[in-house]
Structure 1
Amino acid sequence: MRLGLDFGGTKIEGIVLAPDGAERARARVPTPRHDYAGCLVAIEDLMRRLEQEAGGTIERVGIGVPGAVDRDSGVVHGGNSTWLHGRPLQQDLANALGRPVKIANDANCFALSEAVDGAGVGAQVVFGVILGSGVGGGVVVRGQLVEGVNAIGGEWGHIPLPTPLADERPGPICSCGTPGHTEAWLSGRSLAADYARRVGIDPEDAPPAQEVVARAEGGEAAAEETILRFEDRLGRSLALIVNVLDPDVIVLGGGLSNVARFYESVPGRIAAHVFGPRFATRLVPNRHGDSSGVRGAAWL
């Protein structure tokens, strides 16, 4: 059996999968925030509990974490769980758990899950997209995660918005401090901030992205204009990915993946910026929802 762990800022979720992908056990525990040693203990306790519930031996462990992971050392950097930064989490977990551990960015785990037995199953090239509080992504080719030599494969949130319009320059400040990155336009927070600019209110007072979507569905003109701008920017940004990777399928995850209209409206906007006359890439919602990250960690 294999154990997948999804390390979040408030909770650590674990799932045990049988070799055929069937779920044997699942549980979550609170994250001991700002306590690295406490996190190691919590994960070990969680594994022992799940191993007992699953009724067998866990032989392999995978963990998805926020931020980037050095592919050689397993050291975590970036991400919002700052107490992990600079720590050899992979080796420390292997020592604590007494079995092999693989570690990857949580967006990569999402992409792997959806490629192995999710919405992208059977596809040669899958690009997994996270549209949530941030913008992330992962690349899976023939069932194998492509992390890259710098361990930043799929980090499309930190490329500039393609073909920016005059009023999109230089663009809002990204979470990394650079203006105009895709994350500064396409995260849930960014959509809400764009709506705030449209109606002339402080971004701190903006309704959440899902409320903006609901207002657009209710016929509010300012909200509809905001969603149309979002769809255009998403189309331009994903067209860049298609021109580089030419994936069979793009799978959306995160809170904004639940906006049903995107799957009808965005493909045409992607096609308008794709090189050549043919555009056959499918844009689809994820299959495993909030479970994609933890399942992908198990598949590592």
Structure 2
Amino acid sequence: MRLGIDWGGTKIEIVALSGDGHELFRKRVDTPRDDYQGCLDAVKHLVQAAEEATHATGTLGLGIPGSLSPKTGLVKNANSTWMNGKPLDKDLEEVLGRPVRIQNDANCLAVSEATDGAGAGAHVVHAIIVGTGSGSGIAIDGKAHLGANGIGGEWGAITVPWLKPDEFPGPDSWIGHKGVIDRWCSGTGFQLDYKDRTGTLLKGHEIMDLKRAGDPVAVRVYEDYVSRLARALAMSANLLDPDVFVLGGGMSNIDELYQDLPPVMLPYIFSDTFDTPIRKAMHGDSSGVRGAAWLWE
């Protein structure tokens, strides 16, 4: 049995998978925000619940919104900032009494979708989270591509490419740079863009309801979002040229994106043709937790 945990900013989820990928158990709890020890305890209790329910012991993989530094072994670049600088793997191994494998949550998404999802069988999968934040992961032949410094696929820290005059320099972000993909291509960025123009904070699906009803502000916010995400994807296409893009996170549920993104990308693609598919994550918002379990495959 393989256990996977997705440690996110708002929830911590566990899944137990059989050897053939059949789901045996699933549970999620709210993330104890700004409470590192509380998060460790939550993981421990979830593992205990999974193993009590299945009457089995499993390997454990963990997806986090950051990564382990290959130099220090400490968590870095996590937007759940209270885990930064912590020896998470060692702390969890002490709490659980077993080895753990930890990967960036977007890498887990990529592994999941490359294994038995929307990118199954593809050589290179670029998986992108467009949820609370916007990160990405790369899977090559089903394995996460980390890179020499453990930052492979970290597109969230990059400024949205081909900035337009009225976009420059862009809004501030927790990363410390302006106009980055994490801030502008996330679901949070979509909501904040609408708030900046109207003074009202709505949820993403509420903005889309207004857009579909023809509200001019919501239409403009959506069009600008599509433009920014399309430019980010075009940058990846020019640099990585993956076999497939897979979108996960809340914004990936907007069906219009899959029709609207490709034509907006085309002017930025350094090729006379572009037919790389952009697909919704087959396993939805649970894909990352499945990918964490597959880290032991």
Q: Shared fold (TM-score greater than 0.5)?
A: yes
Mapped pair 1:272 → 2:271: no
Partner deviation per Cα, 1:221-242 (whole Å, 9 max, x = no partner): 2211221222122211100001
Q: Counterpart of 1:188? A: 187
Residue 46 of structure 1 aligns with an amino acid whose one-letter code is L
Deviation at 1:250, TM superposition (A): 0.5
Does the CA contact (< 8 Å) of 1:251 and 1:286 recur in 2? yes
* Corresponding residue SS for 2:293: helix
The equivalences for 1:198-217 within 5 A come to 199=197, 201-202=198-199, 205-217=200-212
CA distance in 2, matches of 1:80, 1:184: 11
Deviation at 1:45, TM superposition (A): 3.1
CA distance in 1, matches of 2:38, 2:189: 34
Q: Counterpart of 1:142? A: 141
Residue 14 of structure 1 aligns with an amino acid whose one-letter code is I
CA distance in 2, matches of 1:9, 1:132: 11
Residue 180 of structure 2 aligns with an amino acid whose one-letter code is H
Q: Counterpart of 1:26? A: 26
Residue 182 of structure 1 aligns with an amino acid whose one-letter code is I
Runs of 5+ in structure 2 lacking a partner? none
Partner deviation per Cα, 1:140-166 (whole Å, 9 max, x = no partner): 011110111222211112112211111
CA distance in 1, matches of 2:182, 2:37: 32
* Corresponding residue SS for 2:292: helix
Cα 1:265–1:81 change in 2 (3 A) is closer
Does the CA contact (< 8 Å) of 2:129 and 2:249 recur in 1? yes
Q: Counterpart of 2:177? A: 178
Deviation at 1:33, TM superposition (A): 4.2
CA distance in 1, matches of 2:88, 2:164: 42
Q: Counterpart of 2:90? A: 91
Q: Counterpart of 2:114? A: 115
The equivalences for 1:1-300 within 5 A come to 1-58=1-58, 60-71=59-70, 73-197=72-196, 199=197, 201-202=198-199, 205-300=200-295
CA distance in 2, matches of 1:122, 1:11: 30
Deviation at 1:189, TM superposition (A): 2.7
CA distance in 1, matches of 2:74, 2:135: 19
CA distance in 1, matches of 2:162, 2:9: 35
* Corresponding residue SS for 2:217: helix
Does the CA contact (< 8 Å) of 1:74 and 1:91 recur in 2? no
CA distance in 2, matches of 1:42, 1:166: 46
CA distance in 1, matches of 2:110, 2:258: 18
* Corresponding residue SS for 2:247: strand
Residue 124 of structure 1 aligns with an amino acid whose one-letter code is H
Q: Report the RMSD for the aligned CA atoms in angstroms.
A: 1.9
Cα 1:175–1:81 change in 2 (3 A) is closer
Does the CA contact (< 8 Å) of 2:79 and 2:174 recur in 1? no
Deviation at 1:11, TM superposition (A): 3.4
Partner deviation per Cα, 1:157-201 (whole Å, 9 max, x = no partner): 21122111111111122231211222232122322333344x4x3
Does the CA contact (< 8 Å) of 1:115 and 1:121 recur in 2? yes
CA distance in 2, matches of 1:38, 1:216: 40
Deviation at 1:280, TM superposition (A): 2.2
Residue 18 of structure 1 aligns with an amino acid whose one-letter code is S
Residue 115 of structure 2 aligns with an amino acid whose one-letter code is V
Cα 1:71–1:17 change in 2 (3 A) is farther
* Corresponding residue SS for 2:56: coil
Deviation at 1:97, TM superposition (A): 2.2
Partner deviation per Cα, 1:89-112 (whole Å, 9 max, x = no partner): 112222332322100121221121
* Corresponding residue SS for 1:61: strand
Cα 1:173–1:22 change in 2 (3 A) is same
* Corresponding residue SS for 1:168: coil
Identity of matched residues, %? 46
CA distance in 2, matches of 1:221, 1:82: 36
Deviation at 1:72, TM superposition (A): 5.5
Cα 1:221–1:105 change in 2 (3 A) is same
TM-score for the superposition, normalised by structure 2? 0.92
- Count how many residue pairs are aligned between Structure 1 and Structure 2: 295
CA distance in 2, matches of 1:178, 1:83: 20
Cα 1:243–1:44 change in 2 (3 A) is same
CA distance in 1, matches of 2:241, 2:26: 35
Cα 1:230–1:46 change in 2 (3 A) is closer
